[in-house]
Each structure stands twice: as structure tokens, then as C-alpha cells.
Amino acid sequence: MIKNISIDLLVPFENHPFKERSGIEQQELTESIKENGLLEPIIVRSFPAGKYEIISGHRRVEACKELGITSVPTIIEELTKDEAIVQMVDSNIHREHILPSEKAFAYKMKSEALKHQGKTSCQLGTKSRTDEKIAETADDSARQIQRYIRLTYLIPELLKLVDEERIAFTPGVELSYLSEYEQQMLLEQIEFTDATPSLSQAQRLRKFSKDGNFFVDTVFAVLNEEKPNQKEQVRISADKLRDILPRGMDKQKTEDFIIKACEHYRKYLIRQRERER
């Protein structure tokens, strides 16, 4: 049964793994609700203190708040915490744009919920595993689901680099086997060298960790290797150039100015050497 509930009584799902975004998609959703109204009810379950926990419809609720809508149609379902987790993940996992970290924690939450429900292979007397059950309603294979869940073992800073695609998905999985201390050490070297590990480098770092050979100088040496199709880059802080460069120059003009200045200085050094002969 559909029931109108005050939007102030709705609370986000606890540890909701899917981030709420304020980009074009959310703007389009807001415009759609403004023009057509809320076409689908929000799915909720009873929550302490007379409130209701959102299972499906977080983005729609945010859009309604932005539009000043005070109450929304809802369907109240009587679900246990684990049942609610499964339904929450299933209703969000097919979003068009999902970050690796979102999938990772969503799959982990659903996996743990299924285990709590007693749907493990040993209890059912079958060979079915939780990752296989998740794969039945997901777009990923059981093996890929296992890989996603591994990402939850990354420290937040490294997981953010995976989301930003600075570290590719598979290298990220390999790095998840490093201890938290080793990951922190790796992060410091990534920031120092401005380089991230490739798959082969991540696999070697994992082996160094397993063999007890994971040290700062080892990580530094690995990250400083020249990768295929990678050219050496020189980075100069803008603060160091502020008093040297003419004002009002765009990026291209700044680059041209620096190249010409370096060429001029190179010629100056050549003339100096010739005078000293």
C-alpha cells in the first residue's frame, strides 16, 4: 500500500555504499520530478523514533528536497536488516554510473547479509556460494565480484585513486593484499614520485610483501621504472615560476615561454664554455 510520508521522517540507509551526486544526472532527475511529479514511490522500512529508512530512492528524495516537496509517496516494507541490505543493493547496482568503490562495498554488504541469512553453501548443503548468488542478479561474474570485494581492503586514499582511474582496477586488486602499513608506505611513494603501479608492478609489490621484502627503497625503485609508452616528465611548482613568468599567460604560452627560456639558457652555456677554452 502506498502512503504519503513527511520527507523529514526519511533517513538514508545506514552505510549506504552509493554516493549521492550533484551532476547532470541529478539535475535531470530533479527537472523530471518538477515537470512530471514523483512517478515511483520510495521504498522504505520502519526505523526507530518513528522514522523510516530509505531502501530505494535516495536520489529521488534529494531531488524532492531540492524542489521543496514536503511529503512523498512511499511503500513501507517489513524487512530485517539483512533483507533490506539485499534489496537496497539490488535496486541500486544497475545504475548507469557506479564507481569501483561503490560496487565493492555494495557487493561486500550483500555478501555478508546473505551469510547472515544462512544462505551459505554449508548450511544449504549445496555448492552455491554467496558470490555466485550475487552474480545471479548482477552484471558481474562471481570471480569479478570477488575482485570487487577485495578493493574494500584498500586504504581510502588508494581506493580513491582507483575511483579516479589513476590506479587501474586489476592493479588495485593486487595492492589490496598489502598490509595497511605497506599501503600507507606505497601511498607516500606514489605522492613522492607522482607515479602509480602498473599491473606487473603491483604483482611484484604483492610478492615483495608476501616474501617480507617490502621496503621503502624497493617501492621507490619499482615506481621509478619507466613504463612502456611512458615519457619522463618534469614538474615545476607554479609558485616557483610566479615571479619569473609574465602575468596573464595561458597554459600554452607559459609552456612556449619556458621552452624558449631553456633554449636561450642552453645557448648561453655553450657560449660560456667556448670562452673558457
| H helical segments located in 8-128 | 24-36, 58-66, 81-92, 100-116, 121-124
Helix (H) / strand (E) element for 5: namely: strand 2-6
What is the pLDDT, as a whole number, of residue 57?
A: 92
Domain ranges of the chain: 1-78, 81-153, 154-223
* In contact, 132 and 143? CB cutoff 8 Å: no
Distance separating alpha carbons of residues 246 and 196, to the nearest angstrom:
34
Which three cell numbers, joined as nine digits, stand for 274? 667556448
What is the pLDDT, as a whole number, of residue 120?
A: 47
Q: How many residues does the chain have?
A: 277
Q: Which CATH number fits domain 1-78: 3.40.50.460, 1.10.10.10, 3.90.1530.10, 3.40.190.10?
A: 3.90.1530.10
User: For residue 229, is it left (φ>0), alpha (ψ between -120 and 50) or beta?
Assistant: left
What is the pLDDT, as a whole number, of residue 23?
A: 74
- The sign of the CA dihedral 30, 31, 37, 40 is negative
What is the pLDDT, as a whole number, of residue 127?
A: 43
Distance separating alpha carbons of residues 215 and 218, to the nearest angstrom:
5
What is the pLDDT, as a whole number, of residue 67?
A: 94
Distance separating alpha carbons of residues 184 and 175, to the nearest angstrom:
11
Strands 42-47 and 51-56: antiparallel
Which three cell numbers, joined as nine digits, stand for 143? 570471480
Per-residue pLDDT 10s for the chain (277 aa) are: 899 999 999 999 999 999 877 678 888 899 999 999 999 999 999 999 899 999 999 999 999 999 999 999 999 999 999 999 999 999 888 887 899 999 999 999 999 999 887 754 455 454 458 888 888 888 899 999 999 999 999 999 999 999 999 999 999 999 999 999 999 999 999 999 999 999 999 999 999 999 999 999 999 999 998 765 454 566 777 667 777 778 777 777 788 788 888 878 877 777 776 666 5
- R_g (Cα) of the chain, nearest Å: 27
Quote the distance between the C-alpha of residue 50 and its chain's center. 34
User: Position 8: which residue type?
Assistant: D
Which three cell numbers, joined as nine digits, stand for 121? 553453501
What is the pLDDT, as a whole number, of residue 256?
A: 78
Which among 254, 256, 233 has a CA at the least distance from the CA of 244? 254
What is the pLDDT, as a whole number, of residue 22?
A: 67
